[in-house]
Amino acid sequence: MPNKHSLVTKYANSLLDAPRAHLVLELTQNKHGLLLTHQTKGVVECYLTPQGMATGAYMAKALGVRLPALGETVKARVSTGVVFRAISIASLDFDEEASLILLERLLEEAEMQRGGVSELS
């Protein structure tokens, strides 16, 4: 069943095909929610619903960036391993209790892989 709070694009999977140490991603908040992009291509969209925005906030945390304000964009430079975890978070169904356990683990792993702040100015 598709997630009604976020959308992971087909491009997201192709982005993970080749492991890379540094990918520059942009997280933008607009009137529809949050959009994670790589080189202007959509990776994940989190809709403007309570669960969608919570998903976006957790995804930002995994990427090591702050949640952008409406109309704002933040950049992150992370490895494909961190991107995988951010995409996995966007795929979780928070109506399921097990998702919270997975979320905690994915956030811990992303933090370990980042090893520091990843927000670009």
State which residues form the domain around 93. Answer: 6-112
pLDDT in tens, the chain (121 residues): 456 899 999 999 899 998 898 999 999 999 999 999 999 999 999 999 999 999 999 999 999 999 999 999 999 999 999 999 999 999 998 888 999 999 999 999 999 999 855 555 5
- Tokens 């945390």 correspond to 61
Residue 121 maps to a domain: no
Residue 56 maps to a domain: yes
**Considering its fold, how many domains does the chain have in total?**
1
Residue 119 maps to a domain: no
Q: What H or E segment, with its residue span, contains residue 19?
A: none
Residue 100 maps to a domain: yes
Residue 120 maps to a domain: no
pLDDT of residue 119: 55
pLDDT of residue 120: 59
pLDDT of residue 1: 44
